[in-house]
Amino acid sequence: MDKFAIAAALQETAARLELKGGEYFKARAFKIGARVVAELTEDLGKLIKENRLTLVKGIGHTLAKQIAELYATGKSSFLTKLRAELPAGILELANVPGLSVKKVERLQEALGISSIDELKAACEAGKIRNVKGFGAKTEQKILEAITSPAQPEQRIHIHHALRAGERLLEYVETAPGFIEGELAGSLRRWQETVSQIIVVVCAKRPEALIDYVLGFPLIVRVAEKTRRYCSVVLSEGFKAKLLAVKSEEYPVALLRATGSDRHLKKLDQVAANQKLKLTQSGIEKLMSSRAKNQTPARAIRVKSEWEIYDRLGMQCVPPELREDAGEVEAALKSSLPQDLITVDDIQGMVHCHTMYSDGKHSIEQMTHAAQSMGMKYITITDHSPTAFYAGGVKIDQLQRQWEEIERVQEQAKIKILKGTESDILADGSLDYPDWILEQFDVIVASIHSRYKMDEEKMTRRLAVAMRQPVFKIWGHALGRLIQRRPPFDCRVEEILDVIAESRAAIEINGDPYRLDMEPRWLREARKRKIKFVISVDAHSTGALNNVKFGVGIARRGWVRRGEVLNSLGLKAFQKSVRPCQNRER
Ligand SMILES: [Zn+2]
Ligand SMILES: [Zn+2]
């Protein structure tokens, strides 16, 4: 068994444990294990042989035993037992609204139902209503649930979609005849959530590639398949769609699959205005009907997305900007910014927590991780005392923290800046007395309590906070948690006006659950010449990788390199975020 097949078996184990109930942590361990195994870069056989599986983060002894057994025999005794305990077809049947494990068991006993098709047939034949615990009404509801396509769309958070998409792409890349491929759709446009993962691939024989893809072990269901297309459901319930094309069709296919619809519509208009038309494999010159009779339309083959835009007489629009928010017009006038911020521009990790508050790792571990990512500095910004639930750092602890920073600094190759994530209190003042605040190298000021103030009070609170004389970075500005909590009620433009005249910058928070501020507000801030930092809000070393999400959302807001403070070198950054204007160090 290869790593993907093993991952699929672990995933199934997790799903069955979840359904069985009462085994939350075990199920979770298997789920994490499945992901870790699918993502292994080292040879699995070698890890097992050298007894090093448990050294991999996320794999404990129980899991290691299962993996070794699966690797050697292709079977897991544990999974086999679980399969026998639960009714057949339970994984798909338990997803039907109104059905629980108990009810599926009853249906199986009474009618031998073990698939959605059998369930549907039984509903249509009116057999379900006679099973104990079911009635005509329930029968009707079940039938509606399995036949109506209008189930509420599940949207996946960007980081989950990206991880699953990258695994799928990694598998596709091993296909014979694979030439090139990329994630497309809203994922390529770095939207906060996506409804499905879209992959566009070009291959020597697209049909053969589709057949190969269907062998990806994390596929649990194939929803649709044609010769050059398949739509599948992955083990985590994510929908994925794969398009396979020939290489001459690839640029246009990628462009079309990336979207957005409104951007594409504009492009079609631009083409039509120039008597051109985007076809499957390139651009065609539209002829007048008379000319058409003389010579056939000539298609110009294009080699890249870039060439499509170029032939339409415009700058190439980066995927993150393709939202019909003025980018087409700007590209036609050649006024699209050429220096949008990139991950490579980032020189320092801003907004990092350690074990002094609610972080998982020490100052030293965070610093080393940032150093190994090629950063030149890191800002340690633990919570302030008012955030007591997050272990806010009291003044005496702060002294110890600074002493520790100085000790770690002696060995570190990058600069550790002493900072805080100071709570914006209800009245707009900042946590810690002024004489402490002035001594930090950097202050992130965030709201962590009283989210539900009315618009008037919240606007005033934030305006007061931003007017504080110390320089501060407005942290996770509007407090949204994607798909969980809406942004605060406040008059954003008014606060931006205050910031434009105060000593403050705005954070672009890379935590994939926050991604705050939103692009539309970033653009409003840019109009006012406000500066930004792209932060990671990291509570662990792994979360330093959040930087790419921060950059993604910044690019969606058209943020340029020169507008991002942590694209500056150490000295310039220090100077620009220094809380106290007169303090020289
Ligand atoms: Zn925070
Ligand atoms: Zn934080």
Assess whether pLDDT exceeds 90 at residue 280: no
* Residue 549 Cα to ligand 1 middle (Å): 17
> Do residues 347 and 569 lie in contact, with contact meaning Cβ atoms separated by under 8 Å?
yes
Burial class (CB in 10 A: 0-12, 13-18, 19+), 515: buried
Average confidence (pLDDT) over 213-225: 86
* Residue 130 Cα to ligand 1 middle (Å): 55
Backbone angles phi, psi at 124, to 5 degrees: -65, -30
What does each C-alpha distance from 158 to 38, 155, 481, 515, 550 come to in angstroms? 19, 9, 13, 10, 12
Percent of the chain surpassing pLDDT 70: 97
Gap between the Cα atoms of 473 and 421, Å rounded = 9
Tell me which of 191 and 387 has the higher pLDDT.
191
Residues found in the chain = 585
What was the pLDDT predicted at 292? 52
What does each C-alpha distance from 404 to 75, 101, 127, 185, 303 come to in angstroms? 50, 53, 71, 46, 55
Q: How many CB atoms lie within 10 A of CB 499?
A: 22
Tell me which of 390 and 310 has the higher pLDDT.
310
* Residue 515 Cα to ligand 2 middle (Å): 12
Q: Indicate the pTM of the whole model.
A: 0.80
**Worst-scoring range by mean pLDDT, 55-59, 181-185, 325-329?**
55-59
What was the pLDDT predicted at 350? 98
* Residue 509 Cα to ligand 1 middle (Å): 10
DSSP 302: -
What was the pLDDT predicted at 327? 97
Assess whether pLDDT exceeds 80 at residue 274: yes
Percent of the chain surpassing pLDDT 90: 70
What was the pLDDT predicted at 36? 87
* Residue 329 Cα to ligand 1 middle (Å): 38
What was the pLDDT predicted at 289? 58
What was the pLDDT predicted at 150? 54
* Residue 58 Cα to ligand 1 middle (Å): 27
Tell me which amino acid residue 456 is.
E
- Please, which pLDDT band fits residue 536 given cuts at 50, 70 and 90? very high
Q: What three-state secondary structure class fits 552?
A: helix
Tell me which amino acid residue 74 is.
G
* Residue 509 Cα to ligand 2 middle (Å): 9
Assess whether pLDDT exceeds 90 at residue 476: yes
Average confidence (pLDDT) over 501-509: 97
Please enumerate in sequence order all residues whose Cβ is within 8 A of that of 460, keeping only pairs 6 or more positions apart, or say none: 428
Assess whether pLDDT exceeds 80 at residue 278: yes
Choose the most confident range, by mean pLDDT, from 23-27, 198-202, 479-483: 198-202
Tell me which of 435 and 18 has the higher pLDDT.
435
* Residue 57 Cα to ligand 2 middle (Å): 24
Give the alpha-carbon dihedral of 193, 546, 542, 565, to 10 degrees: -170
**Worst-scoring range by mean pLDDT, 10-19, 123-132, 141-150?**
141-150
What does each C-alpha distance from 530 to 475, 478, 495, 501, 502 come to in angstroms? 14, 16, 12, 9, 10
All residues with CB under 5 Å from ion ligand 2: 421, 537
* Residue 383 Cα to ligand 1 middle (Å): 7
Give the distance, in angstroms, between the CA of residue 428 and the centroid of all CA atoms in the same chain.
32
The mean pLDDT of the chain is 92
Q: What is the DSSP string of 356-424?
A: TTT-SS-HHHHHHHHHHTT-SEEEEEEEPTT-GGGTPPPHHHHHHHHHHHHHHHHH-SSEEEEEEEEEB
Average confidence (pLDDT) over 447-457: 94
Instruction: State the ligand closest to the CA atom of 350.
Output: 2
Average confidence (pLDDT) over 35-48: 87
Closest CA to 552 of 510, 505, 516: 510
* Residue 584 Cα to ligand 1 middle (Å): 28
What was the pLDDT predicted at 310? 96
Question: Using N-to-C axis directions, what is the helix angle for 61-73 and 24-38, rounded to 10°?
Answer: 50
Burial class (CB in 10 A: 0-12, 13-18, 19+), 238: buried
Assess whether pLDDT exceeds 50 at residue 585: no
Express each pLDDT in 97-138 by its tens digit. 778 888 888 888 899 888 888 899 999 999 999 998 888 998
What was the pLDDT predicted at 293? 57
Strands (E), 424-493: 442-446, 472-474
* Residue 482 Cα to ligand 1 middle (Å): 15
Assess whether pLDDT exceeds 60 at residue 13: yes
Assess whether pLDDT exceeds 60 at residue 152: no
* Residue 491 Cα to ligand 1 middle (Å): 21
Instruction: State the ligand closest to the CA atom of 539.
Output: 2
Please enumerate in sequence order all residues whose Cβ is within 8 A of that of 25, keeping only pairs 6 or more positions apart, or say none: none
Express each pLDDT in 339-392 by its tens digit. 999 999 999 999 999 999 999 999 999 999 999 999 999 999 999 999 888 889
